[in-house]
Structure 1
């Protein structure tokens, strides 16, 4: 599991991105449960994630409407299969509007860039 913390901040909201190899939706949910075991991640407002595997795509917005679809679309474009990516947000008290989608995209881009660098 690779965790990249404090990668973006905007109006008090903070973002992290995490991910790793994954072969099923159940494994993805276990990955998320493990991430939430950490006190810091347990207090996060949103954990939006996606997984693209042999059984098909799975995504969850976790209250951040549309974020799971953005992550999934980016995984499809990168042709990154059997891999789980979660974007975590700690809400800072001020609505971000459409900028939150740009931040989700940037977080996934950062993860994909570091993943490609480690491959």
Structure 2
């Protein structure tokens, strides 16, 4: 995978979406530009420096990085079954590249069933809309479908 041992360890800029609340659960999206796996790890590390985010029930994430060999993508459900794959699927449909999206869920004690996926996707959409403000030249979000990289999809 793409790692750059020569690279300086500067933290990518992280933007945060508005919160979405439903039956005492709260969801928030976070987005940052990434060009390699080290960036993804750094974003996760930086987010977890915030005790509220660290103590959340789930920090589900997905990333897509465009490189010379195609698009490398992956996700982590962080215990919320199928949430990471839904985030990645939306990123694919929106043709988002060179970004990581993390959706944090603070569980409110009430099961909300499949509605949680609607909130994960809404937080992802908000975060990707914010990604247009990122100054990283490599961060791209085009609100269109593309099957160009379908064969390159790699899931965990």
User: Is this a same-fold pair by TM over 0.5?
Assistant: yes
Question: Post-superposition shift, 1:31?
Answer: 0.7
1:49 aligned residue (44, 58, 61): 61
In proportion to residue count, which structure has more helix?
Answer: 1
Task: Note if contact 1:49-1:85 (Cα within 8 Å) is conserved in structure 2.
Answer: yes
The 5 Å alignment of 1:50-89 reads 50-53=62-65, 54=67, 56-89=72-105
Task: Report how many aligned residue pairs link the two structures.
Answer: 117
Question: Post-superposition shift, 1:101?
Answer: 0.6
Aligned to 1:4: 17
Deviating above 6 A after TM superposition, structure 1's stretches of 4 or more consecutive aligned residues are none
User: What TM-score results when the alignment is normalised by the length of structure 2?
Assistant: 0.70
Could you say what secondary structure the match of 1:105 adopts? helix
Taking only aligned residues, the RMSD between alpha carbons, in angstroms, comes to 1.4
User: What TM-score results when the alignment is normalised by the length of structure 1?
Assistant: 0.90
User: Which runs of 5 or more residues in structure 2 are unaligned?
Assistant: 1-13, 135-156
Larger Rg: 2
In proportion to residue count, which structure has more strand?
Answer: 1
User: Which runs of 5 or more residues in structure 1 are unaligned?
Assistant: none
Distance 2:37 2:81 in 1: 20
Distance 2:45 2:130 in 1: 23
2:41 aligned residue (16, 24, 29): 29
